[in-house]
Structure 1
Amino acid sequence: MEFRELPGERGLRSLDDIEFSVRGSLAPAVEWILDGSYTLFFEHYVLMYRDPNVAISGSIPKGAMKRMIGKMPIILARASGRGRVALGRGAAGEIVGVPIAPGQTLEVREHQFLAATDTLSYGFTRVRGLANLLFGGNGFFVDTFHAGREAGVVWVHVHGNAIEVELGPGEHLDVEPSRWCYKDPSVKMTTVPINVSAGLFASSSFALNRFTGPGRVGLQTMGVYLETDSP
């Protein structure tokens, strides 16, 4: 098991020949200067600004009714053309760009993907577990990004600072449910109930997510519970 701190993107950077700039430090946003060679897609409400000649269009992903019931955004916006466009979640943290090679998939916790290149296919799943049954929750969504023949990039908003752990085959790590942000699909996630007792009249119960390798898990030092969350 190997841990490493991921430096948040700062200033002018390049991933897979795509240049972008991170603006701000406390609540960062990302600016791209589109050159017509690629399109970005994102949840529509994270748009910060654009040049007027950058076209913004929208689409509704499959399964939109499930997302609407789960109080998730149902419109994916797309930015194309030539000019500046900037996106930000208006929250403290860091931006991490994650390249995805052809044939690979990345799973990202809901409300944490900032943008992705249109070379990636997008989907989502709803995660349920024992804790949801115990505490009456509805589960949460995980966004999935898959690269077919072409590589792509997903930009993830990390609350606090980013730490990535590489799990070996069969290695386990229990994580507080709001403290992970992305993972490889090869990493299995289950729910583990924890009961803490300090005597006859003092006890508490909570749940952890157990991750089992092999693969990467992205962690964040600041936990943020969202409206759809139920660990």
Structure 2
Amino acid sequence: MAGPVLKKTLVRDESFAGVTYHIEGDIVPVLEVVLAATPVFFEHHILLWKSPSTRIGVKAVKGLLRRAISGMPILLASATGPGTIAFSRDGAGQIVPIHLAPGQAIDVREHQYLAATDQVSYSVTRIKGIMNWVFGGNTLIVDQFRAEAAPGIVWLHGFGNVFEVTLGAEESIDLEPGGWLYKDPTVAIKTVTQSLSSGLFGSAASFFWNRFTGPGRVGIQSMYVPTLAVET
């Protein structure tokens, strides 16, 4: 199995799924999208700037969990052109574009997508029994994005740097629970425990890993920042 590969950090004048976009910034990166006929949707608190001509509305998604960060409700907003709009999360990291063909989907760690084009459907699922960060939690909340009849894009924000590994059938990689950013739906995930029998921590200590088994891609972030998020 080939090891994880660093994703590129700079994108200029990339056109796909009816929009053109740019990704720039070495520390806290910014995604700028040039809108024409295709709208994009996003969590309202990550908007950075926009053209006066860019219109903002609320996007309704049937059955979506009610969500909040630090007690503040999250609204799913929509931007319509013509015009430009830019997004950024409040953290050092890297923005990764995921291009989806019709019928293709991607599973994403909760609250780490920036935006998606309107051709993409959005749903939220809970996976019980999976460690969601290194110090605790046994329920993983996953945002799933799927391109339906037409191609679409999802842009993600990973903390630190973002790497990608492609797993073959039955190939696996163990990740620290805060390290995963995205995966193909074909990749299975489970939590495994490694007991420490000797050394500094003594026999009572254990490591917890999330094991990802292919086939498919797994995105890895080199830093994890816990989000005080609530889903109901």
Give the TM-score normalised by the residue count of structure 2: 0.86
In the alignment, which residue of structure 2 is the partner of 1:182? 182
The 10-residue stretch of structure 1 (171-180 or 20-29) with the greater mean CA deviation from structure 2: 20-29
Unaligned runs of 5+ in 1: none
1 or 2, which has the higher helix percentage? 1
Letter in 2 for 1:218: G
Q: Superposition pairs for residues 116-127 of structure 1, below 5 Å?
A: 116-127=116-127
Task: Write the deviation string for residues 118-164 of structure 1: whole angstroms up to 9, x where unpaired.
Answer: 001110111221658xx873623211111111010111112111211
Per the TM alignment, residue 61 of structure 1 is displaced from its structure 2 partner at its CA by: 3.1
User: Structure 1 residues 226, 74: closer, same or farther in 2, change over 3 A?
Assistant: closer
Letter in 1 for 2:95: I
User: Structure 1 residues 66, 45: closer, same or farther in 2, change over 3 A?
Assistant: closer
Q: Which runs of 4+ in 1 moved over 6 A?
A: 69-72
In the alignment, which residue of structure 1 is the partner of 2:148? 148
Letter in 2 for 1:8: T
- Measure the CA separation in 2 of the matches of 1:222 and 1:81: 34
Letter in 2 for 1:14: S
Determine helix, strand or coil for the equivalent of 1:163.
strand
Determine helix, strand or coil for the equivalent of 1:20.
strand
In the alignment, which residue of structure 2 is the partner of 1:42? 42
Percent identity of equivalent pairs: 44
Letter in 1 for 2:166: E
Letter in 1 for 2:220: L
User: Structure 1 residues 222, 53: closer, same or farther in 2, change over 3 A?
Assistant: same
The 10-residue stretch of structure 1 (11-20 or 146-155) with the greater mean CA deviation from structure 2: 11-20
Task: Write the deviation string for residues 58-115 of structure 1: whole angstroms up to 9, x where unpaired.
Answer: 1343444554599795421100021121111121111111100011111111121111
Determine helix, strand or coil for the equivalent of 1:26.
coil
User: Structure 1 residues 22, 136: closer, same or farther in 2, change over 3 A?
Assistant: closer
User: Structure 1 residues 130, 150: closer, same or farther in 2, change over 3 A?
Assistant: closer
The 10-residue stretch of structure 1 (65-74 or 207-216) with the greater mean CA deviation from structure 2: 65-74
Per the TM alignment, residue 172 of structure 1 is displaced from its structure 2 partner at its CA by: 1.4
User: Structure 1 residues 66, 84: closer, same or farther in 2, change over 3 A?
Assistant: closer
The 10-residue stretch of structure 1 (202-211 or 183-192) with the greater mean CA deviation from structure 2: 202-211
Letter in 1 for 2:21: F
User: Structure 1 residues 194, 119: closer, same or farther in 2, change over 3 A?
Assistant: same
In the alignment, which residue of structure 2 is the partner of 1:86? 86
In the alignment, which residue of structure 2 is the partner of 1:213? 214
CA contact (8 A) 1:139 1:228 kept: no
In the alignment, which residue of structure 2 is the partner of 1:5? 6
The 10-residue stretch of structure 1 (61-70 or 18-27) with the greater mean CA deviation from structure 2: 61-70
CA contact (8 A) 1:61 1:74 kept: no
- Measure the CA separation in 2 of the matches of 1:88 and 1:168: 33
User: Structure 1 residues 49, 200: closer, same or farther in 2, change over 3 A?
Assistant: closer
- Measure the CA separation in 2 of the matches of 1:130 and 1:94: 25
Per the TM alignment, residue 52 of structure 1 is displaced from its structure 2 partner at its CA by: 2.2
Determine helix, strand or coil for the equivalent of 1:52.
coil
Determine helix, strand or coil for the equivalent of 2:45.
helix
Per the TM alignment, residue 199 of structure 1 is displaced from its structure 2 partner at its CA by: 6.3
- Measure the CA separation in 2 of the matches of 1:184 and 1:191: 17
User: Structure 1 residues 48, 130: closer, same or farther in 2, change over 3 A?
Assistant: closer
Give the count of matched residue pairs. 226
Determine helix, strand or coil for the equivalent of 1:222.
coil
Per the TM alignment, residue 190 of structure 1 is displaced from its structure 2 partner at its CA by: 0.8
- CA-atom RMSD in angstroms: 2.6
Unaligned runs of 5+ in 2: none
Per the TM alignment, residue 228 of structure 1 is displaced from its structure 2 partner at its CA by: 4.6
User: Structure 1 residues 110, 73: closer, same or farther in 2, change over 3 A?
Assistant: farther
